[in-house]
Amino acid sequence: MSQAIVFAETGGPEVLRLQNAEIGPPGPGQARVRHTAIGVNFIDTYQRSGLYPLPLPSGLGSEAAGVVEAVGEGVAGLAPGDRVAYAGGPLGAYSTERLISAEHLVKLPDGVSDETAACAMLQGMTVEYLVQRTFPVQPGQTVLWHAAAGGVGQIALQWLSAMGVHVIATVGSEAKAEIARNLGAAHVILYREEDVAARVRAITGGKGVPVAFDSVGKDTFEASLNSLSPRGMMVTFGNASGPVPALAPLELTKRGSLFLTRPRLGDYIATRAELEASSDALFRRLRDGTVKLAPSHRYPLAEAAQAHRDLEARRTTGSVILLP
């Protein structure tokens, strides 16, 4: 008997319920995976709250690591006992066991623990596609990264610093500023207390940055646009403070022929080849120490609601996992 977190209505963390669930044998192309660690991400709170609408009732969670218990007909390259991880596919990672298409699974190499994989897959592959494919950042460039002490931000700081990129990091407190500095941020801005765009202009000698990576949303969107150099790119990839306001395309022209994109991981790992290339790039950095990562906060699966409360209240730094 598996257990899973489900919700039948949108709302606050209190709508999450732990229920028993029957898991049958895997069908063609599927694997049955026993979870050992489950990633918690901000997108989970968007789905629970209704910001990203879902058919209800629904499971939750799109990232986990575990062990293959059985495989269905037609599955090649996986066998019972294999350590695997995934990010994406149908929701349902908040569970002790589940059935999932084998196409979403990648094998974990030696040297990458289950807990690290559970908090690294979604966030780490997000960093990979953002800095290598959405805007291919080059050594020596200066970029702006918001929420730099969060899970994605901490990976990005290490990844970019190893590339020789200068990161202007924004955070919400002095404690988080210290985290960002220790992970390689060249400059740190307390975005609640300082004029972000003015500081960026001062740091860059008035030029601005070629790219701003912004997962905060409403509270930082305007500052991000005002921090860009002509023909710069605004990459908005999250809504931690709420959805960004509507923007007339002419505003991009007025601010220097800017580019604006709202990417998502699923479109960058849409094929098996892309998934393997992205996860391999992440695993290389985890194994060679370029990116050092371990969960900062662990909760039992039954306490998923508390994990959401702490995440939304900004009481967490780094990565959060659930343990079945």
Confidence of residue 304 (pLDDT cuts 50, 70, 90): very high
pLDDT digits (tens, 9 = 90+) for 10-25: 999 999 999 998 899 9
CA distances from 165 to 97, 156, 159, 184, 209 (A): 41, 10, 9, 10, 12
pLDDT digits (tens, 9 = 90+) for 205-260: 999 999 999 999 888 999 999 999 999 999 999 887 788 888 999 999 999 999 99
* 59 or 242: which leads in pLDDT: 59
**Domains parsed from the chain with CATH numbers:** 2-120+272-323 (3.90.180.10), 139-262 (3.40.50.720)
DSSP 205-241: TT--EEEEEE-S-TTTHHHHHHTEEEEEEEEE---TT
pLDDT at 294: 82
d(CA 61, CA 86): 11
Q: Return the amino acid letter for 221.
A: F
Confidence of residue 53 (pLDDT cuts 50, 70, 90): very high
110-142 residues labelled b (16+ CB within 10 A) or e (exposed) = eebbbbbbbbbbbbbbbbbbbbbebbebeeebb
> Would the pLDDT of 199 be above 90?
yes
DSSP-derived secondary structure letter, 149: T
CA distances from 131 to 40, 123, 220, 264 (A): 22, 12, 20, 13
pLDDT at 61: 97
pLDDT at 318: 73
pLDDT at 90: 93
> Would the pLDDT of 28 be above 90?
yes
**Residues 80/110/291/225 CA torsion (nearest 10 deg):** -30
pLDDT digits (tens, 9 = 90+) for 92-121: 999 999 999 999 999 999 999 999 999 899
> Would the pLDDT of 86 be above 80?
yes
> Would the pLDDT of 317 be above 80?
no
3 state DSSP class of 145? strand
pLDDT at 238: 87
pLDDT at 145: 98
Q: Return the amino acid letter for 173.
A: S
d(CA 324, CA 37): 7
Cβ atoms 4, 95 nearer than 8 A: yes
Cβ atoms 19, 7 nearer than 8 A: no
> Would the pLDDT of 158 be above 90?
yes
Confidence of residue 30 (pLDDT cuts 50, 70, 90): very high
The residues with which 20 forms a beta bridge, in sequence order, are 3
d(CA 39, CA 120): 8
